[in-house]
Structure 1
């Protein structure tokens, strides 16, 4: 009996395709520029399917933003909890592969007036950035306790600086149409965290 190995996997469930399409469109166009029709077209789903699974665009956007936020937290935590010293783990997080010119899929939402005006849509954005500052502060506090960082280092303030440099680096790179300003900002920050001996 011949078994075919070239059988395509079954298509993703409609709800999942709708969420993934919304995630992509929010990153590309923002909330205002993401229409229900564009979501349906990108997902290959009809209007009836969309409204069968979600009450409307805000409900679908919340599912998409929440999924993106959860993925970013898991990725960051994996790097920040990985092997190495505290500074090495923060460096691994800063140097991880990113689509710099597209910007941060969570950070970009802070520039979307409709997302920021809606407490429900804003919540996962605010929680994710807050979580990231807190997790970085924990790692930096560990580095200070282990003598990697001087006692004068404020873990919370430094964590906020790390997040600000990343988000600002995305903005500089997008403005220049080049990843070099992002890379320069990250390299400068790493030098401040771990100055040459």
Structure 2
């Protein structure tokens, strides 16, 4: 035996709080943007929402507008591979014998951070630069640039508040400032 379907019961609207009259609430199907004349102070809401239910579960953002940020793996960036590439470029094993380990390791990690970053921009020297331009510059770094930066840091007596930002700027500028730096040092010593 089958049970006949029951008609759906519509829930009763909640009773208004005492002292609030809803006589001024608009009940039309087409809400307007203008206010009614002299609405009571207790009634501040606009026309009621006429949808039967909210369907928030079905709302999906348009991924073409806000694409999800790809992870390092999805972009083909593997930190271990990048680290090994950088070690080779800067002659890491050779530098370990000449320079303080902590300084070298810190610079190595900063370079790897930039080269494996999934951000679209990076702040260098107070400017926001495209990450691809910064990567190109960081890929030019070699052992001489690392020696230059560590030597310059050892001569700096000024207090540095944001050492990471300072070192990122030094690494970014090293390929274009190393020549003038050593030329000026030679002129100073023999001048």
Q: Tell which structure's C-alpha radius of gyration is larger.
A: 2
Task: Name the TM-score, length of structure 2 as normaliser.
Answer: 0.25
Task: Name the TM-score, length of structure 1 as normaliser.
Answer: 0.25
Question: Comparing both structures, which one devotes a greater share of its residues to strand?
Answer: 2
Question: Comparing both structures, which one devotes a greater share of its residues to helix?
Answer: 1
